Each structure stands twice: as structure tokens, then as C-alpha cells.
Amino acid sequence: MKLLKRIAPLFLVVALCGCSSTGLGDKVIVKALFLDHQQQYIAQVLVLEPQPSADAGEVSETIRLIEGRGSTLAEAVGKAESARAEELFYGQNELLLLGPGLQQQGMSECCRFLYENSAGRPNMAVWGINLSADEQPLTSDNASAVLEGIRRLEERGGYCTYLYQLAAAQGGSILPLVKLSGEDDVQMPGLTFYQNGAPVAHMSGNEMELAALFSGQKGTGQLQMESENGPITLTIRSPKLIYECVEQESSMTLHIRFSGHVEQMTGESLPGAREERRSLLKELNRQLEQTAVDVVRKSFSDESDPFGFLNRFRNKNEQLALALAENGVLYQPESVVFSSALQLL
């Protein structure tokens, strides 16, 4: 009897699944969605199309690109969907790419529309791409390589933003960018920072690395610095941020300490002496502190807070933090103090 009670729910699940009139075999799987706006909205959908194989009983998959255009985003997506007799299955959609037109205007509205409709998955990654729809950044031939290139960027710690974050953003949000050159060369040139749905600043290099860390992401662990002998790349082991909010009478300060160890330095004419390398690292720490000031200045205001700094103030003293925020005092540059303490191994 106990065994019957345990397996009864399983029979119920099987029965419910078996009664479905539309199985996955009646659908085509969507792998990526590219949206843009020029004179009209453009939706390009990458789908996996089953292809019979020469071997009996085996089926291969080919990537196909289908497109729809319309005066609204819903119309463009609907026309792309109607281009196939089968229903589109968005459950495995990995990626949303936004073209230059939507990056300039309508990015937030686009993400909210997809989040509220079946064409979007809350946890699919969102990237801005440098080519417009008419320049055909994605084709049936290069789609696999492009998707793999973007996946490698994510694995290496490239900044990631997901649909649910952009759809829910009230003030500031960040869109990572990819640059496609050639058939499948995918690079990450930087980030675009949005305020009230409009692009207001660009971040690249060390700014992008700090933005990842401020967002709780691991980052790539690669930092750049300028020396007298040219650019130097440093690989950081275990980069970490330590936050401490300090309250003083009628003011508050958020102290952020950046720590980690330099595992490797690469560049031309690197000094061999350890003491000279320490001097280089001291200069890098100084450069990072100035970079952090720029990142905070671009992103932290009464209208935007993508890194959640306000919540850290509120966790210390909510009443005081809200009062300082209302008066605009909290958003002064001196309210967030960043210090870098990277060391040599």
C-alpha cells in the first residue's frame, strides 16, 4: 500500500503528459532571437530544423533563419512565427540579440514585451550587437559559430545580463555588447549603461571589469594598465570586493576594498626586479581607484543604481539612508570610496 502511494503521483504525471495534444515533435526549437528597429521592427528567429539522415532511424538538425517585419514588435514576431507551419518552441531559447536601432531607443520596452510573452525566457542572456538586421549578422551558415563565440565570452567571465533583469529595471540597467567581424569573429568591446531606457554612457576595459565585480559577477580576471613602456595586461587570482558601510552622525560612506593577487603580467619591456613590479602594481591600484570613481559617477544617482549601492546603505541605517537619498546627499562622489589593494603573489 505504501508503494502504491509513492508511485501514484508518477502515474498521474505520465497520464497528464500523455494527454497533451501538442508534443515537442510538433514544434521547431528556437535557439536565438535577433530584434532590431529601422523603419520598422524586424524579428529574426534561429530555429533548429530536423533533417532526415542517410542512416536509418537517425535525424540531424540544421539551423534555419526565419524573419518577420512589422510596425510593432508583436507584429514582427508574429509574422516570423507564421513563416513556419509548426509552432515555435521557445523553451530552449538561449539568447536575445538587440540590433543598433533598438539599442538606441526601445530596448527596455522590447525586453518587457518579451518577458511578458511566450517569445522570451526570463533567464536568457541579452546582448547588443554592432550590426543591423539588414547587414545580416546572423545567417544559417554562421549562426552556430556566432552562438558558440558568445557562449565562450560568457564562460570567460564576460559581463552577462538576463532578460528578467532588463525587464524589471526601474532606473539604471547595463547591456553587454558583442562585435561581430568577419563570419564568426566575436568580441566584447564593452557595455552600454542605460538610464530610464536611454543609453547614457559606455564602459570598456577596466570599467567593464569593475562593473562585473560590482554586479556580483566573477569578471574575466584580466586588467589593463598603461605604463611608460606601453600597455600591460595583468591576470588576477581570486579578485574580491569587501564592502563596509560607515555611519557618521548625519552622513554615510560606503567603502569598497578590492583585493586579489597578480598571477601574471604580460607586456613589452616588463621589469624583472620584484621591487619594480611592485611599483607597477602600485600605479595600477591608483589607476583602478580613479576608474572606480568614473564608474560610480556614471551609474549611481537618484535615477539609477544598477549595482545596488543604495541597499547597502539601507542595510546599515535605512531611515538615515533614505533621508540622505531624498536630499541628494547620498549620491555625491565622496559617498562611495573605492580602494584597490592588489598584491603580487
Residues 234, 263: Cα–Cα separation, whole Å: 7
DSSP track, 177-188: EEEEETTTEEEE
Q: Please answer whether residues 160 and 176 qualify as being in contact, where contact means their C-beta atoms are separated by less than 8 angstroms.
A: yes
Residue-level pLDDT at 52: 59
Using left for φ > 0, alpha for ψ between -120 and 50, and beta otherwise, residue 155 falls in alpha
Q: Is the pLDDT of residue 306 over 70?
A: yes
CA–CA gap between residue 215 and residue 244 (Å, rounded) = 16
C-alpha cell at 55: 542512416
CA atoms of 112 and 117, how far apart (whole Å):
9
Q: What is the structure's pLDDT at 25?
A: 58
* CB within 8 Å of 336: residues ≥ 6 apart: 253, 254, 256, 296, 300, 309
Least confident of 60-64, 159-163, 197-201: 60-64
Q: How confident is the model at residue 190 (pLDDT cuts 50, 70, 90)?
A: very high
> How far is the CA of 49 from the CAs of 132, 190, 269, 283, in angstroms?
25, 33, 53, 54
Is 235's pLDDT higher than 70?
yes
Measured in degrees and rounded to the nearest 5, phi and psi for residue 333 equal -55, -35
Residue 292's pLDDT is 96
Q: Torsions phi, psi of 197, nearest 5? A: 85, 0
What does residue 180 show for φ and ψ, rounded to 5 degrees? Answer: -105, 120
pLDDT over 70 at 13, yes or no: no
Residue 14 above 50 pLDDT?
no
- How much is the pLDDT for 134? 86
Please identify which residue in the block is written with the cell numbers 570613481: 293
Average pLDDT over residues 20-47: 82
pTM to 2 decimals?
A: 0.85
Contact (Cβ atoms closer than 8 angstroms) between residue 305 and residue 321: no
Extract the C-alpha cell encoding 127.
546582448
pLDDT digits (tens, 9 = 90+) for 260-289: 999 999 988 788 888 988 888 999 999 999
Mean pLDDT score, 144-163: 91
Average pLDDT over residues 120-134: 91
d(CA 238, CA 262): 9
Q: What is the DSSP annotation of 225-282?
A: EEETTEEEEEEEEEEEEEEEEEEETTEEEEEEEEEEEEEEEEETT---SHHHHHHHHH
Question: DSSP labels for 110-179?
Answer: HHHHHHTSTT--TT-EEEEESS-GGG-S--TTTHHHHHHHHHHHHHTT----BHHHHHH-SSEEEEEEEE
Please state, in angstroms and rounded to a whole number, the distance separating the CA atoms of residues 185 and 150.
10
> Is the per-residue pLDDT at 181 higher than 50?
yes
**Which range among 202-211, 222-231, 249-258 shows the weakest confidence by mean pLDDT?**
222-231
The C-alpha cell that represents 195 in the structure block: 538610464
